[in-house]
């Protein structure tokens, strides 16, 4: 967690598939945690709620369990829960920890670095950015003891979100209200908006192509387009301007991305080449049909028309053509292989003249159509494994690696930028 990266307001939802550990401590504002969980889930985040015992006096774990879709954790030494995901594993699972509401007592325990319950232990044991939303009576907030704790936490790069001024549950008016759930959700969105690829034009090809046989039939393949769409989104999240050239898929167009829809390999090639000259990076995830029908019929082939013979001709290799352009962008290709992954991937790296190749094993439960995937990424003198995970998370990991290869600083999540906007 270092400073120095200006975080710009996101133009898109950056919470999709993020792991948010939401700590809830014992104050009247704990009821607002329910709305916060709902908002985070709606934005696509996974939410694990961890409550202190005192929080249970204000809101039931069952409410938060129902909204988050995960059992709420509240015990440090709960053998059953620990067997599922141990507290250290949970600390590693989190992409960010948000404690909302955070009581004066919790801020004090955090400042002291205590590990006397599960939530405090997780805050101590996690490397994820830590954000707290204090909520308490105004006199407690203004108390020099609380203010000293808050100063200490700020100095340790913990984001202090709020509190806000207004009417308080105790009947007084002053500073101490918890920041509203919508605002906290927006803070997390800003936390995850990166700029490792800021100023770059990224072009992505995705999905299958369909090669017509006649007006109603085509040759196609099973590519879902998910990896390409996830990469387009991840590149956008990292600050790039993104153009996505997509074959026919049934996916939502990613927010903030220019989408060009095509059907055939030749259409995809024309669209990609028209954009490639302005691109700094070309990511080829499309499962381009290797062959097309030489002479598609202009009318439907009827059953009685006799045997159907198709002459197939080879399609151009779009990735190789882009890589051979005079001022070629940085090229990242994909290779789906059933065997000899490294050998085939490295052979493609050389044959197509690309800068980096991400190879995945295809087979039962992996690759095409599956939610999860793992990648082996190769470049001329290097290699990195990206372990099996959801495609959105995998895409973010690949974009980080890409940014490193481009000599950019991969995104550091930077809580200090949030302080400025408290
Ligand atoms: N690719 C492309 N245009 C093609 C074929 C492939 O741009 N006509 C790109 C894919 O998007 C992918 C990479 O090339 O990034 C490798 O695709 P793959 O189908 O594995 O490679 P092939 O060259 O078809 O090799 P093979 O089928 O023999 O494994």
Cα separation, 31 vs 185, in Å, equals 16
pLDDT of residue 419: 64
Atom of ligand 1 nearest to the CA of 316: 8
Report how far residue 210's alpha carbon sits from residue 203's, in angstroms, rounded to the nearest whole number.
Answer: 20
Whether the CB-CB separation of 143 and 104 falls below 8 Å is answered with yes
Task: Identify the pLDDT of residue 2.
Answer: 35
Model pLDDT, residue 10: 47
Q: d(Cα 77, Cα 406) in Å, to the nearest integer?
A: 45
Contact 68, 47 (CB under 8 A): yes
- Name the residue with tokens 């407690």: 140
Structure tokens that stand for 165 in this block: 């001024």
Give the separation between CA 98 and CA 82, rounded to whole angstroms.
21
User: What is the SS3 assignment for 101?
Assistant: strand
- Dihedral (Cα; 98, 101, 106, 108), 10-degree rounding: 90
Question: How many angstroms separate the alpha carbon of residue 225 from the centre of ligand 1?
Answer: 14
Q: Write down the pLDDT at residue 172.
A: 84
Point out the residues of the chain with pLDDT beneath 70: 1-11, 364-370, 417, 419-422
The Cα 71–Cα 255 span in angstroms is 31
C-alpha 215/C-alpha 217 separation (Å) is 6
From 272, 174, 114, select the one nearest 123 (Cα to Cα).
114
The verdict on whether 185 is a catalytic residue reads no
- 159 touches ligand 1 (CB under 6 Å): no
DSSP state letters, 34-54: HHHHHHHHHTT-EEEEEE-TG
290 lines ligand 1 (CB under 6 A): yes
Domains of the chain: 19-193 (3.40.50.1950), 201-405 (3.40.50.10300)
Mutate to test the pocket of ligand 1, among 319, 336, 344 (most ligand atoms within 8 A of CB): 319
Instruction: Write down the pTM of the prediction.
Output: 0.89
Q: Is 321 in the pocket of ligand 1 (CB under 6 A)?
A: no
276: enclosing H helix or E strand = helix 265-276
Q: What is the pLDDT of residue 53?
A: 96
Q: What's the CA-to-centroid distance between 412 and ligand 1, angstroms?
A: 33
Whether 360 lines ligand 1, by a CB cut-off of 6 Å, is no
Residues 226 and 219: their CA atoms lie apart, in Å, by 20
């Amino acid at each position: 967690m270092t400073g120095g990266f200006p975080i710009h307001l996101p133009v898109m939802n950056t919470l999709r598939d993020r792991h948010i550990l939401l700590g809830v401590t014992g104050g009247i504002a704990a009821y607002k945690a329910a709305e916060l969980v709902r908002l985070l889930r709606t934005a696509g985040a996974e939410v694990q709620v961890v409550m202190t015992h005192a929080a249970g006096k204000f809101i039931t774990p069952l409410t938060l369990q129902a909204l988050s879709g995960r059992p709420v954790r509240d015990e440090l030494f709960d053998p059953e829960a620990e067997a599922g995901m141990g507290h250290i594993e949970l600390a590693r699972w989190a992409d960010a920890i948000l404690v909302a509401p955070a009581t004066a007592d919790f801020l004090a325990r955090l400042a002291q670095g205590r590990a006397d319950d599960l939530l405090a232990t997780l805050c101590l044991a996690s490397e994820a950015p830590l954000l707290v939303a204090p909520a308490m009576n105004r006199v407690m907030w203004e108390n020099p003891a609380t203010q000293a704790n808050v100063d200490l936490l700020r100095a340790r790069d913990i984001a202090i979100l709020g509190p806000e001024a207004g009417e308080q549950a105790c009947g007084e008016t002053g500073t101490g209200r918890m920041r509203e759930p919508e605002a906290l959700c927006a803070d997390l969105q800003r936390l995850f908006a990166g700029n490792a690829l800021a100023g770059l034009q990224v072009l992505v090809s995705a999905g299958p192509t369909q090669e017509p046989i006649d007006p109603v039939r085509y040759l196609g393949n099973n590519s879902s387009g998910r990896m390409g769409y996830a990469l387009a989104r991840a590149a956008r999240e990292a600050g790039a301007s993104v153009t996505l050239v997509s074959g026919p898929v049934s996916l939502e167009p990613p927010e903030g991305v220019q989408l060009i829809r095509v059907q055939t390999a030749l259409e995809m090639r024309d669209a990609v080449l028209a954009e490639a000259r302005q691109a700094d990076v070309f990511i080829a995830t499309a499962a381009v049909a290797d062959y097309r029908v030489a002479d598609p019929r202009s009318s439907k082939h009827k059953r009685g028309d006799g045997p159907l013979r198709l002459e197939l001709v080879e399609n151009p290799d779009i990735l190789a053509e882009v890589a051979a352009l005079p001022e070629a962008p940085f090229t990242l290709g994909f290779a789906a292989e059933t065997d000899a992954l490294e050998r085939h991937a490295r052979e493609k790296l050389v044959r197509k003249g690309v800068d980096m190749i991400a190879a995945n094993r295809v087979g039962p439960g992996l690759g095409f159509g599956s939610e999860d995937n793992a990648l082996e990424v190769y470049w001329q003198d290097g290699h990195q494994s990206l372990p099996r995970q959801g495609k959105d998370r995998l895409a973010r990991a690949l974009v980080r690696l890409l940014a490193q290869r481009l000599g950019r600083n991969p995104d550091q999540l930077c809580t200090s930028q949030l302080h400025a906007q408290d």
